[in-house]
């Protein structure tokens, strides 16, 4: 056999011949299926190898010339990649919004790739298109609570859309504001609408002096990207102070009216239902009144908190969300679906037509191709993952997950408050909270000499950063950190630990141990000594 | 056990207990692994059930209240969803850019979900971040051919970026034009740049009367979305006629100069390297000269054709691509990676800084978080799929795939030309071609009475639509269709069949049978009789 023939044989093999039962890949698959926690704890090594060191394993810019055997490559993936990944399944990984997932997603992921559908058009997805529309309808109904006849009318309507699936909350937020912008600058007279004629012509036609979007300082960073991409510019995004972590409707109204008084226009008010940093929920119902008063689009970024609607006990925290013109939700957050399952929903099934587009070979007029109103083009069938989850867990199951997460966060908050060396900085509304390590001696001293705060805060900030870094590097547990103003320190942003208690596998013992580890770590750090020395 | 306890037990089970070896999901997995083609041919039923009928299976808008057993749900997925999906793996599914994939992706998909990393930040991805940067570097080097020292300097540089992974070519194209727009309206004087101050202020500062983007009529529909989203408006996109399927550099230059002469500015020239409809490649080197002459950004949309660079024989078709300021490439097309692996690359490693953004809890200054310069936020680790493919297939393997696809398309073109009842409408440059069914009697008559074309074309158009629809519905094979101007009919768009011969499993027999099926189908159709009657 010549080299070329050998290469060709190898090539056809990878397309047509499965790896054997004893192959490395088959072993990996079995281990994943049999015991994911064990697979991860064996293969993800909790080393403190630095990123710069890991980069040495990924420093080849030349594509290898010759093919490699699958099993050989699988070994390398385990050694180089899996070993130095992050164990997001771990019950002590409570720093970000990525958590353990139900087991069945492993199998569904394989099915998804086996089917390899493209949901941009029916010709490459068929049943996946109605399935995705149904899932969008289910989530739409969770939010907007219309009756059967509404969904019968719109669920599979070729000329309407209840929303779009997309890769995540960022694309969902951009999509929502894109629709809001295009609707604001509708065609009239000679002006063919902003979609055709652009922002400059739109501003001239409508005579606005400036265009603004209002949200709080807790608004997700994707909102800044959205106004940048959409041509408004980041200065058009007013991020109002919110020391108590929620947007004050009076302040939003006042600022909005000031813009109108100057000849400006408020394009959208963005309320947050579960801020990324603290999990707080803006007063949606009152902000809906503000949006009505200002005559602007109300968008609710519920990427994190939307799933709270599954809970009868806590769903009421989102009262008013049904008044939003658009809502962002991420199924890969509190719906426990793998990464890549964002959604944007529109109250008005006609809203998506603001961005409808066609092509000659797909998305033709009258087709039900999902790509006709989405920002993305080709997409995979992630909607199947959410469809399966909604059925296998049921509303009931999701409710239990949501309730347990929130109650766990409240229990952790109580543990922090009871601990002599920690201070709660924001209380949990959903399952997020923030806190700080403040040695008891410092707490006591600040009670009697509050003016010391100015000199102590920068040192406590450094201590927080150092603890978080060392804890992350030690690899046993993980909390994240952020910097924000709080009710106690409204004028001065402070560094805090941030935890997200969404992993159903996290136990009270895990939480106790995380605090214990942080305390053990803290007292060994030079930043700790600096804080204590500053006490004099 | 109470109901609540039972629900809770079910809930924890799905997070912690794998399905048994005899479970339905395990059976599905084994079938996928053992013989994907057999799984698909058994479960994807080639029924002619209408979409409206399938929608009846997906018409529930209420989320089910109670949990369902995994195996029960898996059965339903097979019956309702898989049965009515599209068999994109089939060698006779040659209508779109979705093809059979190497087997190892099934296992990797499972690993990806098991790891569930989020690549927006290192804290939830670690080794995946350097891996993704390496993959971007490899593809960057494939396109731009810099030397080792360049990649040593930039591959893992926190303040630079060679590009971004994203969900697909649409987001890649939008990202590229976002960077182009922001670079054009750079800060100067009081103006803080378009990213901060917006498009209106930018146009005023720079004094442009209008802003344009130039491409050909074969430009992908995502380009229209891009100029819409970015605030330029769809009218700013000049889609120049290209009856020979490639953009004429002289025409592009002339149109660009006309815009400049009117006080306008050309923001970008977009050249196509593998048009979606016919696979043609614009003269990139000459268009790079035009872009230089017009002083504008050159973007090459090589979503489809970029992989041709793996081939020593055909890579030269993309000569000049290394002069592009930005390039779009989709690994889920001719790199045979599952859906969701788009990339945008930038010649200048500083370009991504035009859209750099930060947050308090991630993407901090100086971090290597990939999310700091990407349009999307949270993303999964699809880069692993391409990394594995680049190693397992090697450049050599990809070259074979590319060469074979193109040669297969040439062979199919010859079959069409030799067939009495078919006409080739565009010849393959890459592995795409278009053709029509034109009964021999019609072909002969048109040779002597060309003026009959005007009355016959609309009837042939209807026949084309009818054949394509019936073929698709019969479920044995699939070609797509589009509508375009060709060299023979430069003034008049005609309907044509469109095929993409990227599936390595497609044989000459498959192609022979597809033509035979189309011919068998055609003669039974009323649209065929209408054509023949029009001959008189």
Span A443-486, pLDDT tens digits: 999 999 999 999 999 999 999 999 999 999 888 999 999 999 99
> How confident is the model over B144-181, as pLDDT tens digits?
999 999 999 999 999 999 999 999 999 999 999 999 99
Please, which residues have CB within 8 angstroms of residue A453's CB and are 6 or more apart in sequence? A446, A489
Residue contact A376–B85, C-beta within 8 A: no
For residue B455, give the CATH number of its domain: 3.90.1150.10
* Contacts with B236 from chain A: Cβ below 8 Å: 198
| Cα distance between residue A161 and residue A181, in whole Å | 18
Of B54, B138, B229, the CB nearest to A63: B138
Q: Which residue has the tokens 């303040």?
A: B159
* Contacts with B70 from chain A: Cβ below 8 Å: 104, 392
* Contacts with B101 from chain A: Cβ below 8 Å: 15, 113, 116
Same domain for A415 and A530, yes or no, is: yes
Please, which residues have CB within 8 angstroms of residue B458's CB and are 6 or more apart in sequence? none
pLDDT band at A247, cuts 50/70/90?
Answer: very high
Same domain for A375 and A411, yes or no, is: no
Same domain for B349 and B403, yes or no, is: no
> How confident is the model over B463-500, as pLDDT tens digits?
999 999 999 988 899 999 999 999 988 888 999 999 99
Of A36, A156, A221, the CB nearest to B359: A221
In this prediction, the answer to ipTM > 0.85 reads: yes
Same domain for A63 and A206, yes or no, is: no
Task: Say yes or no to pLDDT of A7 above 80.
Answer: no
Residue contact A378–B224, C-beta within 8 A: no
Same domain for A314 and A183, yes or no, is: yes
Among A340, A392, A129, A380, CA closest to B24: A392
> How confident is the model over B32-90, as pLDDT tens digits?
999 999 999 999 986 778 999 999 999 999 999 999 999 999 999 999 999 999 999 99
CA–CA min distance B448, chain A (Å): 31
In a mutational test of the B interface, the residue from A228, A363, A475, A483 whose CB has the highest number of chain B CBs within 10 Å is A228
* Contacts with B174 from chain A: Cβ below 8 Å: 229, 375
* Contacts with A123 from chain B: Cβ below 8 Å: 86, 95-96, 472, 478, 480
- Which ranges in B262-359 belong to alpha helices (H)? 284-294
Q: Is residue B39 part of a domain?
A: no
DSSP string, B409-464: HHHHHHHHHHSTTEEEEE--SSSEEEEEE--HHHHHHHHH-GGGHHHHHHHHHHHH
Task: Say yes or no to pLDDT of B235 above 80.
Answer: yes
Q: Is residue B384 part of a domain?
A: no
Residue contact B388–A60, C-beta within 8 A: no
| Cα distance between residue A432 and residue A229, in whole Å | 30
| Helix (H) or strand (E) segment spanning residue B213 | strand B211-216
Using the Cβ of B507 and the Cβ atoms of chain A, whether some distance falls under 8 Å is answered with no
Residue contact B60–A138, C-beta within 8 A: yes
Q: Is residue B135 part of a domain?
A: no
Q: What are phi and psi of A6, to 5 degrees?
A: -65, -45
Residue contact B360–A482, C-beta within 8 A: yes
Output b/e per residue, A343-369; b: 16+ Cβ within 10 A: bbbbbebebbbbbebebbbbbeeebbb
> How confident is the model over A315-338, as pLDDT tens digits?
999 999 999 999 999 999 999 999
Per-window interface: A 245-264 vs B, CB < 8 A: none
Same domain for A338 and A440, yes or no, is: no
| Cα distance between residue A456 and residue B68, in whole Å | 55
Same domain for B415 and B337, yes or no, is: no
* Contacts with A100 from chain B: Cβ below 8 Å: 15
CA–CA min distance B117, chain A (Å): 7
- Which residue of chain A has the CA closest to B69? A392
In a mutational test of the B interface, the residue from A110, A157, A215 whose CB has the highest number of chain B CBs within 10 Å is A110
Q: Is residue A488 part of a domain?
A: yes
Using the Cβ of A279 and the Cβ atoms of chain B, whether some distance falls under 8 Å is answered with no
Choosing from B339, B361, B383, the residue where a domain stops is: B361
* Contacts with B58 from chain A: Cβ below 8 Å: 127, 130-131, 133-134, 155-156
Q: How far is CA B31 from CA A17, B25, B91, in A?
A: 13, 10, 19
Same domain for A198 and A280, yes or no, is: yes
Residue contact B8–A393, C-beta within 8 A: no
> Looking at the 3D structure of chain A, how many domains does it have?
3
| Residue A37 lies in domain | 19-81
| Cα distance between residue A393 and residue B73, in whole Å | 11
Using the Cβ of B186 and the Cβ atoms of chain A, whether some distance falls under 8 Å is answered with no
Cα torsion A81, A87, A88, A89: sign? positive
Residue contact B98–A211, C-beta within 8 A: no
Of A122, A338, A396, the CB nearest to B51: A122
Choosing from A81, A109, A124, the residue where a domain stops is: A81
* Contacts with A263 from chain B: Cβ below 8 Å: none
CA–CA min distance A247, chain B (Å): 18
* Contacts with B496 from chain A: Cβ below 8 Å: none
CA angle A444/A488/A501 to nearest 5° reads 95
* Contacts with A51 from chain B: Cβ below 8 Å: 122, 126, 129-130, 368
| Six-digit token string for A521 | 């770590």
Contact between B19 and B25 (Cβ < 8 Å): yes
Choosing from B311, B342, B361, the residue where a domain stops is: B361
User: CB A499: neighbour CB atoms within 10 A?
Assistant: 27
> How confident is the model over A25-60, as pLDDT tens digits?
999 999 999 999 999 999 998 677 899 999 999 999
Using the Cβ of B9 and the Cβ atoms of chain A, whether some distance falls under 8 Å is answered with no
pTM value? 0.97
pLDDT band at B1, cuts 50/70/90?
Answer: low
Of B105, B117, B195, the CB nearest to A113: B105
Residue B9: the pLDDT is 81
Using the Cβ of A500 and the Cβ atoms of chain B, whether some distance falls under 8 Å is answered with no
CA–CA min distance A448, chain B (Å): 31
* Interchain CB contacts (distance < 8 Å): A and B: 568
Q: Is residue A4 part of a domain?
A: no
CA–CA min distance A184, chain B (Å): 13
Cα torsion B329, B330, B333, B337: sign? positive
Residue contact B195–A104, C-beta within 8 A: no
* Contacts with B84 from chain A: Cβ below 8 Å: 126-127
Residue B6: the pLDDT is 76
Task: Say yes or no to pLDDT of B246 above 90.
Answer: yes
pLDDT band at A1, cuts 50/70/90?
Answer: low
Strands A422-426 and A432-437: antiparallel
What mean pLDDT comes out for the span A131-141? 98
What mean pLDDT comes out for the span A190-210? 97
* Contacts with B10 from chain A: Cβ below 8 Å: 397
For residue A207, give the CATH number of its domain: 3.40.640.10
Residue contact B128–A482, C-beta within 8 A: no
| Helix (H) or strand (E) segment spanning residue A432 | strand A432-437
Task: Say yes or no to pLDDT of B297 above 80.
Answer: yes
Q: Is residue B310 part of a domain?
A: yes
Per-window interface: A 298-327 vs B, CB < 8 A: 310
Q: Is residue A395 part of a domain?
A: no
> How confident is the model over B384-404, as pLDDT tens digits?
999 999 999 999 999 999 999
Residue contact B116–A98, C-beta within 8 A: yes
Q: Is residue A273 part of a domain?
A: yes
Among A426, A495, A436, CA closest to A461: A495
Using the Cβ of A110 and the Cβ atoms of chain B, whether some distance falls under 8 Å is answered with yes
Residue B243: the pLDDT is 93
Using the Cβ of B358 and the Cβ atoms of chain A, whether some distance falls under 8 Å is answered with yes
Residue A356: the pLDDT is 93
| Cα distance between residue B519 and residue B438, in whole Å | 10
How far is residue A189 CA from its own chain's centroid?
A: 41
CA–CA min distance B354, chain A (Å): 11
List the B163-166 sheet strands across, edge first: B163-166, B342-346, B326-330, B297-301, B265-272, B211-216, B237-240
Of B77, B115, B392, the CB nearest to A68: B392
Using the Cβ of A142 and the Cβ atoms of chain B, whether some distance falls under 8 Å is answered with yes
* Contacts with A154 from chain B: Cβ below 8 Å: none
Same domain for B317 and B221, yes or no, is: yes
| Six-digit token string for B412 | 């199919």
Length of chain A in residues, anyone?
536
Task: Say yes or no to pLDDT of A212 above 70.
Answer: yes
Q: Which residue has the tokens 């019950």?
A: A91
Per-window interface: A 36-75 vs B, CB < 8 A: 36-37, 39-40, 51-52, 54-55, 57-70, 73-74
Residue contact A12–B339, C-beta within 8 A: no
């Amino acid at each position: 056999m010549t080299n070329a023939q050998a290469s060709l044989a190898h090539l056809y093999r990878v397309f047509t011949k499965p790896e054997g039962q004893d192959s490395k890949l088959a072993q990996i698959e079995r281990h994943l299926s049999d015991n994911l926690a064990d697979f991860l704890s064996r293969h993800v090594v909790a080393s403190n190898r630095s990123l710069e060191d890991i980069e040495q394993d990924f420093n080849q810019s030349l594509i290898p010339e010759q093919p490699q055997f699958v099993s050989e490559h699988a070994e390398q993936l385990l050694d180089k990649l899996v070993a130095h990944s992050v164990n997001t399944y771990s019950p002590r990984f409570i720093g970000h919004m990525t958590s353990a997932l139900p087991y069945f997603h492993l199998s569904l992921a394989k099915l998804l790739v086996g089917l390899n559908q493209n949901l941009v058009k029916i010709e490459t997805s068929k049943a996946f298109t109605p399935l995705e529309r149904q899932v969008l309808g289910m989530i739409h109904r969770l939010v907007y609570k219309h009756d059967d006849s509404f969904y019968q009318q719109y669920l599979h309507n070729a000329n309407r859309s209840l929303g779009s699936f997309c890769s995540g909350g960022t694309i969902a937020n951009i999509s929502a504001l894109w629709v809001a912008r295009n609707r604001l600058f509708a065609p009239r007279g000679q002006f063919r609408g902003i979609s055709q004629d652009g922002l400059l012509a739109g501003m001239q036609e409508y005579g606005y002096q400036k265009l603004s979007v209002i949200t709080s300082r807790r608004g997700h960073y994707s909102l800044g990207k959205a106004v940048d991409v959409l041509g408004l510019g980041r200065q058009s995004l007013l991020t109002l102070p919110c020391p108590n972590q929620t947007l004050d409707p009076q302040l939003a109204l006042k600022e909005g009216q000031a813009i109108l008084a100057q000849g400006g226009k408020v394009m959208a008010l963005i309320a947050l239902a579960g801020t990324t940093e603290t999990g707080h929920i803006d007063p949606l119902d009152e902000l809906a009144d503000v949006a009505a008063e200002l005559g602007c689009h109300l968008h609710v970024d519920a990427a994190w908190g939307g799933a709270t609607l599954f809970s009868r006990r806590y769903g009421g925290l989102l009262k008013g969300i049904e008044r939003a013109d658009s809502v962002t939700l991420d199924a890969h957050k509190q719906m426990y679906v793998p990464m890549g399952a964002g959604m944007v929903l529109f109250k008005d099934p006609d809203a998506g037509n603001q961005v409808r587009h066609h092509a000659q070979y797909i998305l033709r007029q009258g087709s039900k191709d999902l790509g006709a109103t989405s920002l993305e083009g080709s997409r995979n069938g992630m909607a199947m993952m959410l469809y399966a989850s909604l059925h296998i867990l049921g509303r009931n199951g999701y409710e239990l997950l949501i309730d347990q997460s929130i109650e766990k966060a409240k229990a952790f908050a109580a543990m922090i408050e009871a601990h002599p060396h920690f201070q709660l900085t924001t209380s949990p509304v959903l399952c997020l909270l923030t806190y700080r390590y403040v040695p008891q001696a410092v707490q006591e001293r600040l009670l009697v000499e509050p003016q010391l705060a100015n000199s102590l805060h920068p040192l406590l900030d450094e201590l927080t950063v150092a603890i978080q870094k060392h804890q992350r590097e030690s690899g046993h547990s993980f909390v994240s950190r952020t910097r924000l103003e709080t009710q106690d320190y409204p004028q001065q942003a402070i560094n805090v630990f941030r935890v997200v208690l969404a992993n159903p596998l996290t136990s009270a013992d895990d939480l106790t141990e995380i605090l214990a580890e942080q305390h053990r770590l803290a007292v060994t750090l030079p930043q700790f000594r600096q804080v204590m020395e500053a006490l004099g």
